[in-house]
Structure 1
Amino acid sequence: MLIPERLRDQMTACGLTQAALARRVGVSQQTVGRLVTGDAYTSRYLHKIARELRTTPAYLTGETDNPEADAPDISITAEEREILDLMRALPPTERAAALVLIRSLATSARSPSVHG
């Protein structure tokens, strides 16, 4: 039963509690808790959990012993994480409007300023 041990190890390495991981993944703390205690052997959210823990579902389930193998690069700052969390909390129409604003700001930041 590798999932509980590897899940706890990765949570510790990432400095996440069950509640924090659950919040980031968008599941209940009980869902994460069942995996950590071994009361559940898998979850349809395992890929999201693995991504947040900077590893792969294959590592968590014991298919591989390398936690880094094919792990996605999700090195983001706390500020980027906050923006993502805030975007996820928005209703779809407001999320679309925020995305338009962010794209506009990013385009403006990349364009050279013309001062007259």
Structure 2
Amino acid sequence: ALATEDKHHNRRGLVQGGVLMTFADRSCGMTARFVSGKPTLATVQLDTHFVEAGKIGEVLVSKPHVVRATRSLIFITTEVTVDKRCIAMASGVFKILKNEG
């Protein structure tokens, strides 16, 4: 979850789209890391659909769902919601990287 603050606003006073995208990317990426058991992954693709505006002060919630996991790629979708309102939808592909060092 992410409690939105004034620093997250755009020029219209609503939650900035980049904040929504970053939140979706981080929550899906953390899920991919947990599912894979690997420490290092990279976002290969992230598709985002903005459904409704989020208001400053609202708490955003992301509930990622693993669609498929292979040895090298993990496919995940999520909805970013406020209560029962869908604010954004995102789907991403995450690549498991070889440990460096």
Q: What interval of TM-score do these two structures reach, taking the shorter chain for normalisation?
A: under 0.3
Which one has the largest radius of gyration?
1
More strand by share: 2
Q: TM-score, normalised by structure 2?
A: 0.26
Q: TM-score, normalised by structure 1?
A: 0.23
